[in-house]
Amino acid sequence: MARNTLNSRSRTLATLAVGVVVGGAVAGGGFAVADSPAPKTDRQITNMTDEVTKIKAYYGDTVDAKGEHWASPDSNYAVQVKGIENKAQKYLESKAAHERGTRKAIVLDVDDTSLSTYNYELETTFVYNPASNAQYIATKTMPAVFGMNTLATWASKHGYTVFYVTGRPETQRAATAANLTAVGFPAPDQPHMFLKNPENPPSYLPCGKTCTVIQYKSATRAHIESLGYRIVANFGDQYSDLSGGHAERTYKLPNPMYYLP
């Protein structure tokens, strides 16, 4: 998921809950959300309290002694994630077994693909703020999305180079790397983790400072390919993490908490 400095961040629970889509897919890089007319009555609007209650139930919300919220490993969310990971690993296993002569790679988004922002979202009532988000990332360790650290570690041990492509700003590189390593992901060194640097964008981003999420992420994947890697699988929780090509397979992880175009 592209976060923080990547343009404006749309966080519309009602849009996701109602599921207004065109062509059977949620918006993001070729997946267009229909423009909804203004509601005529309140009954046409999804009740936000009800939606938050549903989100908590889906994640199997538990609260610790410090008042922090955690998703449950036996929640419907965890079950759905596990099913996606099982399919992905089978595909990666087949490629590892039959294609030994190529530099294979996988690409992982960070927020809500690798690391869970569930507690942060509840703390901020799903209202993103750059300052509070930066403080949270600097001072807290987000848990791994269930099973993604295991999948990434397996891939690393079976001939895949693991790349992280995130919309977090370059200023959060050290904290992000430390969090990923602390919860069991392959350690992301400098060449294998890409963060957004709007003040000094790399030359491989033709859109420069004006990149959309899709432009930034797809061009970064193209850059990884230019280094001689073949991206076998790309993982993200937003369609904008996955659109734009430069990956053989894409795997969309569930995230009903917000939407990023």
pLDDT digits (tens, 9 = 90+) for 112-129: 999 999 999 999 999 999
Read off the pLDDT of residues 153-184 as tens digits, 9 standing for 90 and up.
999 999 999 999 999 999 999 999 999 999 99
Residues 210 and 194 sit within 8 Å (Cβ to Cβ): no
Instruction: Please give the mean pLDDT across all residues of the chain.
Output: 88
Whole-prediction pTM: 0.86
Provide the percentage of residues in the chain whose pLDDT is more than 70: 86
CA dihedral 64, 65, 68, 74 (to 10 degrees): 0
Please state the rounded mean pLDDT for residues 186-203: 94
Residue 236 contacts residue 166 (beta carbons within 8 Å): no
Query: What is the four-CA torsion angle of 210, 164, 160, 224, rounded to 10 degrees?
Result: 20
> For residue 141, how many other CB atoms are within 10 A of its CB?
13
Cβ atoms within 10 Å, residue 19? 8
Contacts of 65 (CB under 8 A, 6+ apart): none
Q: What is the pLDDT of residues 13-53, one digit of tens each?
A: 433 333 332 223 333 333 334 456 899 999 999 899 999 99
The pLDDT value recorded for residue 35 is: 58
100 confidence band (pLDDT: 50, 70, 90): confident
C-alpha pair distances (Å), 255 with each of 71, 211, 236, 239, 258: 12, 23, 10, 11, 7
Helix axes 173-182, 130-139, angle to 10 degrees: 50
Query: E-strand spans in 23-109?
Result: 62-63, 69-70, 104-108
pLDDT band of 74, cuts 50, 70, 90: very high
How far is Cα 196 from Cα 198, in angstroms, rounded to an integer?
6
Among candidates 52, 34, 8, which has minimal Cα distance to 167?
Answer: 8
Q: How far apart are CA 88 and CA 251, in angstroms?
A: 7
